[in-house]
Amino acid sequence: MNILVILRMRREKESFHRICVTKAIANILILTAYIVWAVPCSYMNAYYFPQPFNAFFGAVIGWGPYLMSGPFTQICLAVNRAIAISYPHWFDRNHRIPYTKLTLYGLWTFALLISLPSFIDGCSYLFYPESIAWGTMDTPCSRTLTDLFLTGVITMSIFSFTVNITNILKLLKMSMRMGNSISEDASTARKKRRRAMFVQCIIQDCTHASDCFINNYLYTFYSAQWFQFLCGAVSGLFIILVDGLEVCNEKFFEKIFRLLMTVLHRKLRNVNRGASRVSTVHSIHVS
């Protein structure tokens, strides 16, 4: 999916497509670390490669590319939408300074610099063959870095979610101002776009924060190998799959929205039926 995103968008010049390509590249780096390191280590078990290699691939999985795959590009996409909605004339203009490229280069540099502390002995994020999962070391340095990292990811997710919700509210306000000046087909298309955008921002802003919580805290609740494997490797790979789907398939979020609405309507219908039955029984007893 992520390779398809790069193939489809690599020649596009719009800032949105460049951010999506950057996100896909980061996801591919993470997948490469799984294939090159995690899979051989799982088969070789106690004979896996030296500690520095483990720390290096842990930095790829848990630090630099992970930040570019998730929080950093989430904020970029949210701000990109905000500028497109609030300042459309400035957004569509051709600028001499490539603001998007400079921002992405700066974020890559910052993400790699943040990864450096994980190479310090006792601060690394490692792959453990016995549990077939990535995890922190049981040291004060590693725990402190993990807490700071998780706090940062959650904070950036909240910021990105707030910006996205503000964007949706602005779109609603603009559509209300236009009123009946647009056709019914155009109005329906805009409603679909807003629904897709709403589901997309929820998924984008919650997936990586949820993965950090699952991978760093939830896995400690149960020591079974299968549970830790689900919380570690499966959780991380599932997020990469969702990242590729959300960009590659334009109708993906519309399908999710319809599924959520169907489930919600069924639950509300069951609640209403239960309430009507209770009221009927109550009236019978009263009479």
Please report the pLDDT score of residue 109 as a whole number: 93
- The domain segmentation of the chain, as residue ranges, is 2-250, 251-287
Span 140-184, pLDDT tens digits: 888 888 888 888 888 888 898 888 888 878 877 776 766 556 666
- Residues in CB range of 36: below 8 A, 6 or more apart: 57
Domain 2-250 of CATH type 1.10.3720.10 = no
- Residues in CB range of 200: below 8 A, 6 or more apart: 246, 253
- Residues in CB range of 132: below 8 A, 6 or more apart: 38, 42, 225, 228, 229, 232, 233
Q: Bigger pLDDT: 44 or 62?
A: 62
Span 231-280, pLDDT tens digits: 777 777 777 777 666 665 555 555 555 555 566 567 666 656 655 554 55
Backbone angles phi, psi at 95, to 5 degrees: -105, 145
By the 8 A CB rule, do 212 and 205 touch? no
- Candidates 117, 106, 6, 103; CA nearest to 62 is 117
Q: Bigger pLDDT: 166 or 196?
A: 166
Res 28 pLDDT > 60: yes
Res 29 pLDDT > 70: yes
Give the number of other Cβ atoms within 10 Å of residue 174's Cβ: 11
Entry pTM = 0.72
Number of helices and strands in the chain (H, E): 13, 2
